[in-house]
Each structure stands twice: as structure tokens, then as C-alpha cells.
């Protein structure tokens, strides 16, 4: 596609046009550099700021601040707030019975003396919290990796499902010759104008009522509950969208009917034609659909937020739980946000040609 | 109808059924479930004490002053954002598309411009705080260090939300909007452009007399998407603390979610969402109609 665009714009060059070309080329470089800066700087600072502890956040840090040693004279309470310490885990680590109330105004040194914990051990335990700040808390949160896994599962299942269902629908609607085809196509297109918030509340009522009907759903943390919630969210991703309908219907309509006629002459049933002949041709719309769905599903916040429990959700709602009304540990949040973006960035940069093609395909069809 | 044809149509219906069922279940059924609720005082979906109250919900917005005030603020904030967002969409999308169109396709630049689309709206809200927090924002700190800024730009203030948030959202969707504008530009017959060049038209004249008139359907599409997107904005606001006390982040979407899920006034929330979004849907339908009429005339 790049070459066709280039040849489209090729013109015979005279002096003034060559000068204009050079000016445009210079503009492009300037725009490129400027845009690169404003795009890459936020990513850079996201990492840097995830190392800036709460008490230093009002200062400008162009590089991560130097790591400090834990101050044994610091009070436990203050330290716990700054470092997002889980006091139960702290107690478990040092063999303090969980019912014992450890006074937050005591210094670490005093706690060490009181419970017979050598200073070295206190230091070893607490230093990583300070040095790696948000990252340590994030990765030691036992909900973190499962959340990532759930995001991955939903994304993969969603992409596979969307493509399969999109192909089925597109095959049935191809050509748009008959009234029922046009009616259904039109109905799916109507979703472009339906504000999602109009149906959001009724959908919520319906889905939650339906989920409540499932036996064992009420058991919090139960496997049925988790599976049901994942399926509920998945259902939203599989429903027809204007884009998927347009993409597949248009593409399949463009396949010459001679192909199916030839297959029929050779004695193939429609299903054989669809599976063996049309199927392999679907690589292009499938690529576009996949590439558009990856960020669409992975970055979806609303549906997991509404339908999945906080203790068993995907990565973005999990980061949302770190947001408190009074104080939030932004180091953890920034670390989490960066990790939520990283997989997408890697996939995007590895397959950027597909992403660009998919983006233009989506735009042109729209 | 010959049996072969009838069989084919039957097969088509089988192919259609999965997504059709999903569509009906997710879009049609909820509306039917919600319809009777509108005339009751149901608080949440488990509410057992439900009474019929006629059209009370519909007039509540006009009768309860506190609700009306909250609602009006939400409408104003959302509308302000929508206007700024639409402007930003054109600033980012159209400018970049024109650049791409004139200079030729540059894969690297496209990659760069489209990259922010990989960020979730939720993450963008946190990036906004990271950059424009009142005391902790990096941009504020840098500009103040350089002496270019006296008072910090607070993303959580009214000005910040009205001015900075649209810029950030525009940056995020720049790739998407650029792609749409670019496809509109590419659809312009080259002869019209060449004729203008040959006739010695300045760039501005070319822009206004040749490009824009032939891009009107595209512009309407972009306007529709930007408008709908503005009212749909949610994730970014959640990150900005809409549910953690940030008054300025209370846009219509947040207002409705709060009333629908958190305040035990489900029926009221349903009605308000209809009163708000039905007009929006009609506007969007009208824009679609306009766009289709313009496409055919071209």
C-alpha cells in the first residue's frame, strides 16, 4: 500500500516543485521528531515516576531517584502507608501471631527489639520495597499474575470468537441481495448510533439477573462464579459490531461467485467450499479484525469492572483497586499501567505493518 | 422457491444465528426488560419493594433541585469536553492526514502516530495525572523549573479537565482519526487535485475548494464518531478519580453509572439515561442520514 500511495503522488519535478518538496520533507522531519518526543516522553516518565516514592513526588525527577536504605527509626505506620505494606504479610514473615496488634507508632528498631527480630532481617525484608517501589508491591500482589492471565485469556478467546463469528455472519450476509440480509446488516450498523450508555444499565440488570440464576454463583471466589463472569464478559466481545460486520460482509461479497460455482461443479457442498476454499482466503479480514481487537479487548475496562469481582478480575480493574479515595500509591499504579501497556506495545511494534493495514482497512470501510 | 435456494437461505440463517442471538440478547432484550422498570421505583436489580409510580421518574429531573443541579453540571462538563474533543480530533487527525497525503506515506510516522492507540483509556487518565498533577505532574515541574509557568496546570481542576484532557484524548486517537481522514483524502479523484495544481491554485485554495468539499461525508463520519466518543468517555475519568471524589470528572457517563449502580435509584438512572441519550441517538441518526445523502450526491 505504501508504494501505491507513493506512485499516486509522484509528479514531474520542476524547480519550484522541488523546492516545495524539500520544504515538505523538512516539515516531515520536524513533525516526526516533535511527535516522537510527545509520544515517547509519557512512556519514559511512567517508568521513572514508578520509582519516585510518595514523599518525593513533588520534585522533578528526570531519572529514577537513588535507592535508599530503610530507616530503622522510621515508624511502622508511616512506612506502611508509603510502601503499601501488607501488615499481615509483615507479621507472617517475622512469626508475629496475626492477632497481635503491632503499634504503628513504634519504630522498626523498637519492633525488632520487642519481637526479637535482628535488624539485618528487617532491612532485607523492607529494602526491596524501597528500592523497587511500585514494582515490588505490584509483583508481590498475588492477584497480579492471575489478572494478567485473565486479560490474556479474554483477549485470545475474544479474537478467535470474533473472527469465527464474523466469518459466519459475513458469509450469510454476503452480497446483500435479499431483504433479510439487508435488514440484519442494517440492524448491526445501527449500533453505530446507539449510545452504549443507553443500553448499559439495562444490560447490567439483565446479565446480573441471568448470572444469579446459575447454581453456586453466589459462592464468592467459587470456580463457577469466576467462569461465569469470564463468559459473561466474553459474550460482550463476541456480539456483532458495525466494524466486524462491514469488514467481513464487504470482503466476502468481493469474492467472485465463479469460485463457488466451480466448487459446486466439482461436487463440493457449500460447507466444503466454505471450509476449504473460502476459509483460506479470509486471511486479510481476519488479520484486520485481529489487529483491531487486540487493543480493543485487552484495554477494555468497563465490562470486567462491572461484571467481575475485584478479587478475580483482569488487569485494568485490578489497578483501579489501587486507587483510593484518600490516598493512592501512584508508584504501584504507574508500574501496573506500564505493565498493562507493555505487551500491547511489543505486539504492536512487532506486527506494525498488520496494524497499519488493519487501521486503514477499518477506516476505508467506515 | 426451488429447494436448492431455500436450503441456501436456511444455511444462511444457521450461519447468522450465533451473532444474531447475541445481538438480540444483548441489545434487544435489555430494552424490553428495562421498559417496565421505567415506571417503577426499583432501586437495584435485586430490589423486592417495587411500586408503580407512573411517570414520576421522567419528571424527577425537573422537580428535584439537587439532582437537577448535579445533572446540569455533568451535562455542561460533558458538552464542554465534546466541543474541545471535536476540535482536537480535527487538529490532530486532519492535519496529520493532510501531511501524510501531501508528502507521501511514511510508515515510521504512521507507526508513531498510531502508537497511543495501544494505551487504554484508563491508562491515559493516569498518564494525565502523571503529567499534569498539580504538584506532582512532570510537565508542571519541568515548565516551572524552566520558569515558563507560574501556576501549575491541574488536570483535576475544571480548566484542566476542559482543556488538557481533550488534548490528551486527541493525542490518543490521533492515529484512528488520521486513518479516517486519510481514507477520505485518498478517495478524492486525483484529476481534481491535479487540475487545481495546474490552474495555479494556492495550497489554501486547494484545501478549501477541492479537498474539503469532496471530504464532507468523511467529515460527517468523524464528527459522529467524535461526538459519540465524547459522551462515551469513561475509563479516563475513572482513572482521574471520578469514583474517588473528583468532582470535575463527573461527566454524564460517570453520573449515570453512579446513579445506576451505587445510589440505589436504578429506575431513575434508567430514565435519565434515556432522557439524555435518546436525543443523542437521534442526532447521530440525523448525521448518518446527512452523510448518506451527501455520499450519493458526490
Predicted-complex ipTM score = 0.86
Low-confidence ranges of chain A (pLDDT < 70): 1-15, 81-84, 133, 219-221, 324-327, 365-366
Sort out which chain B residues have CB atoms less than 8 A from A169's CB and list them: 15-16, 18-20
Length of chain A (residues): 366
Taking chain B, what is the end-to-end CA distance rounded to the nearest angstrom? 39
Q: What average pLDDT does this structure show over B38-64?
A: 76
In chain B, % helix, strand, coil (3-state, to 5) comes to 80, 0, 20
CATH number assigned to the domain covering A144-365: 1.10.3720.10
Domain edges within chain A: 76-140, 144-365
Question: What residues of chain B, 77 to 106, have a C-beta less than 8 Å from chain A?
Answer: 99, 101-106
Q: How confident is the model at residue B82 (pLDDT cuts 50, 70, 90)?
A: very high
Whether B69 contacts chain A with CB within 8 A: no
pLDDT above 70: percentage of residues in chain B? 98
**How many Å apart are CA A1 and CA B186, to the nearest integer?**
12
Q: What is the pLDDT of residues B190-229, one digit of tens each?
A: 888 888 888 888 888 888 888 888 888 889 889 989 999 9
**How many Å apart are CA A356 and CA B49, to the nearest integer?**
54
**How many Å apart are CA B295 and CA B214, to the nearest integer?**
9
**How many Å apart are CA A227 and CA A239, to the nearest integer?**
19
In 3D space, the residue among A55, A83, A49, A312 whose CA is nearest the CA of residue B126 turns out to be A49
Q: How confident is the model at residue B264 (pLDDT cuts 50, 70, 90)?
A: confident
CA torsion, ordered B194, B198, B204, B208, to nearest 10 deg: -50
In 3D space, the residue among B91, B295, B176, B115 whose CA is nearest the CA of residue A361 turns out to be B176
Whether A242 contacts chain B with CB within 8 A: no
Chain A, nearest residue to B139 by Cα: A60
Cβ–Cβ gap B33/A205 under 8 Å: yes
pLDDT of the residue at A326: 60
Whether A37 contacts chain B with CB within 8 A: no
Which cell numbers in the block locate residue B33?
426488560
Q: Is the pTM of this model over 0.90?
A: no
In 3D space, the residue among B265, B255, B287, B282 whose CA is nearest the CA of residue B86 turns out to be B287
Answer yes or no: are the C-beta atoms of B180 and B89 closer than 8 Å.
no
Out of A28, A240, A362, name the one closest to residue B23 (CB). Answer: A240
Provide the shortest C-alpha distance from residue B186 to chain A (in Å).
Answer: 9
**How many Å apart are CA A65 and CA A63, to the nearest integer?**
6
Helices B107-114 and B174-186, packing angle to 10 deg: 140
User: Residues near A202 by Cβ (< 8 Å), separated by ≥ 6?
Assistant: B30, B31, B33, B34, B270
Which cell numbers in the block locate residue B123?
491508562
Domain edges within chain B: 1-33, 74-297
Out of B27, B123, B145, name the one closest to residue A340 (CB). Answer: B123
Out of B115, B232, B257, name the one closest to residue A348 (CB). Answer: B115
In chain A, % helix, strand, coil (3-state, to 5) comes to 75, 0, 25
pLDDT of the residue at A9: 53
Whether B262 contacts chain A with CB within 8 A: no
Cβ–Cβ gap B23/A188 under 8 Å: yes
In angstroms, the Cα distances linking B213 to B116, B187, B206, B296 are 30, 12, 10, 14
DSSP H/E element including B58: helix B56-63
Whether A46 contacts chain B with CB within 8 A: yes
Out of B16, B102, B107, name the one closest to residue A356 (CB). Answer: B107
Q: How confident is the model at residue B138 (pLDDT cuts 50, 70, 90)?
A: confident
Ramachandran region, residue A308 (left: φ > 0; alpha: ψ -120 to 50; beta: rest): beta
pLDDT of the residue at A222: 73
Q: How confident is the model at residue B108 (pLDDT cuts 50, 70, 90)?
A: confident
Cell 447490567: give the residue. Answer: A204
Instruction: Write out A174-234 in H/E/C secondary structure.
Output: CCCCCHHHHHHHHHHHHCCCCCHHHHHHHHHHHHHHHHHHCCCCCCCCCHHHHHHHHHHHH
Answer yes or no: are the C-beta atoms of B160 and B251 closer than 8 Å.
no
Q: What is the pLDDT of residues B17-26, one digit of tens each?
A: 999 999 999 9
pLDDT of B117 higher than 50: yes
Cell 479523484: give the residue. Answer: B189
Answer yes or no: are the C-beta atoms of B175 and B110 closer than 8 Å.
yes
Query: Domain B74-297 adopts which CATH fold?
Result: MetI-like fold (1.10.3720)
Instruction: Give, in degrees to the nearest 5, the angle at Cα A48 between A44 and A51.
Output: 155
Q: What average pLDDT does this structure show over B250-260?
A: 88
Cβ–Cβ gap A330/B110 under 8 Å: no
pLDDT of the residue at B151: 81
Amino acid at each position: 500500500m505504501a508504494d501505491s500511495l507513493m506512485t499516486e503522488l509522484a509528479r514531474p519535478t520542476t524547480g519550484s516543485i522541488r523546492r516545495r518538496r524539500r520544504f515538505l520533507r523538512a516539515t516531515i522531519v520536524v513533525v516526526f521528531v516533535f511527535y516522537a518526543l510527545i509520544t515517547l516522553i509519557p512512556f519514559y516518565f511512567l517508568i521513572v515516576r514508578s520509582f519516585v516514592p510518595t514523599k518525593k513526588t513533588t520534585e522533578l525527577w528526570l531519572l529514577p531517584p537513588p535507592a535508599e536504605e530503610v530507616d530503622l527509626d522510621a515508624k511502622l505506620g508511616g512506612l506502611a502507608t508509603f510502601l503499601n505494606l501488607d501488615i499481615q504479610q509483615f507479621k507472617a514473615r517475622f512469626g508475629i501471631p496475626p492477632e497481635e496488634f503491632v503499634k504503628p507508632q513504634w519504630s522498626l528498631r523498637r519492633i525488632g527489639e520487642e519481637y526479637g527480630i535482628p535488624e539485618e532481617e528487617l532491612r532485607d525484608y523492607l529494602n526491596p520495597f524501597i528500592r523497587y517501589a511500585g514494582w515490588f508491591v505490584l509483583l508481590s500482589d498475588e492477584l497480579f499474575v492471575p489478572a494478567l492471565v485473565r486479560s490474556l485469556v479474554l483477549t485470545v478467546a475474544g479474537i478467535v470468537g470474533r473472527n469465527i463469528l464474523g466469518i459466519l455472519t459475513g458469509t450469510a450476509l454476503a452480497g446483500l441481495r435479499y431483504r433479510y440480509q439487508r435488514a440484519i446488516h442494517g440492524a448491526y450498523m445501527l449500533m453505530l448510533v446507539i449510545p452504549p450508555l443507553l443500553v448499559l444499565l439495562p444490560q447490567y440488570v439483565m446479565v446480573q439477573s441471568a448470572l444469579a440464576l446459575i447454581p453456586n454463583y453466589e459462592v464468592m471466589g467459587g470456580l463457577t462464579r469466576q467462569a461465569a463472569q469470564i463468559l459473561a464478559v466474553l459474550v460482550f466481545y463476541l456480539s456483532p459490531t458495525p466494524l466486524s460486520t462491514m469488514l467481513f460482509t464487504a470482503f466476502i461479497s468481493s469474492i467472485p461467485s465463479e469460485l463457488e460455482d466451480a466448487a459446486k461443479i466439482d461436487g463440493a457442498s457449500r460447507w466444503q467450499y466454505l471450509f476449504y476454499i473460502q476459509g483460506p482466503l479470509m486471511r486479510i479480514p481476519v488479520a484486520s479484525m485481529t489487529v483491531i481487537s487486540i487493543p480493543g479487548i485487552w484495554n477494555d475496562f468497563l465490562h470486567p469492572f462491572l461484571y467481575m469481582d475485584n478479587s478475580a478480575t483482569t488487569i485494568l480493574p485490578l489497578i483501579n483497586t489501587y486507587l483510593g479515595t484518600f490516598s493512592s500509591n501512584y508508584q504501584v499504579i504507574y508500574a501496573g499501567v506500564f505493565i498493562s501497556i507493555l505487551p500491547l506495545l511489543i505486539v504492536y511494534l512487532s506486527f506494525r505493518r498488520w496494524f497499519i493495514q488493519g487501521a486503514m482497512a477499518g477506516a476505508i470501510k467506515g | 422457491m426451488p429447494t436448492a435456494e431455500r436450503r441456501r437461505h436456511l444455511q444462511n440463517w444457521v450461519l447468522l444465528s450465533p451473532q444474531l442471538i447475541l445481538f438480540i440478547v444483548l441489545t434487544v432484550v435489555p430494552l424490553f426488560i428495562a421498559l417496565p422498570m421505567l415506571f417503577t421505583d426499583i432501586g437495584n436489580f435485586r430490589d423486592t419493594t417495587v411500586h408503580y409510580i407512573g411517570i414520576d421518574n421522567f419528571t424527577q429531573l425537573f422537580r428535584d433541585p439537587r439532582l437537577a443541579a448535579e445533572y446540569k453540571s455533568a451535562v455542561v462538563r460533558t458538552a464542554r469536553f465534546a466541543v474541545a474533543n471535536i476540535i482536537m480530533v480535527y487538529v490532530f487527525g486532519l492535519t496529520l492526514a493532510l501531511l501524510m497525503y501531501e508528502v507521501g506515506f511514511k510508515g515510521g510516522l504512521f507507526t508513531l502516530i498510531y502508537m497511543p492507540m495501544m494505551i487504554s483509556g484508563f491508562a491515559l487518565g493516569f498518564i494525565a495525572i502523571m503529567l499534569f498533577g498539580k504538584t506532582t505532574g512532570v510537565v508542571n515541574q519541568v515548565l516551572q523549573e524552566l520558569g515558563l509557568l507560574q501556576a501549575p496546570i491541574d488536570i483535576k481542576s475544571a480548566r484542566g479537565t476542559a482543556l488538557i484532557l481533550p488534548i490528551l484524548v486527541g493525542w490518543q486517537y490521533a492515529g484512528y482519526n488520521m486513518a479516517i481522514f486519510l481514507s477520505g483524502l485518498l478517495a478524492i479523484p486525483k484529476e481534481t487535485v491535479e487540475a487545481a495544481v495546474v490552474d495555479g491554485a494556492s495550497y489554501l485554495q486547494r484545501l478549501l475548494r477541492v479537498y474539503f468539499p469532496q471530504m464532507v461525508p468523511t467529515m460527517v463520519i468523524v464528527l459522529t464518531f467524535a461526538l459519540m466518543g465524547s459522551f462515551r468517555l469513561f475509563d479516563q475519568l475513572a482513572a482521574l478519580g471520578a469514583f474517588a471524589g473528583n468532582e470535575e470528572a463527573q461527566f454524564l457517563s460517570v453520573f449515570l453509572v453512579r446513579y445506576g449502580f451505587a445510589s440505589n435509584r436504578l429506575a431513575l438512572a434508567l430514565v435519565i439515561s434515556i432522557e439524555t441519550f435518546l436525543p443523542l441517538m437521534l442526532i447521530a441518526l440525523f448525521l448518518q442520514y446527512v452523510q448518506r445523502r451527501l455520499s450519493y450526491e458526490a
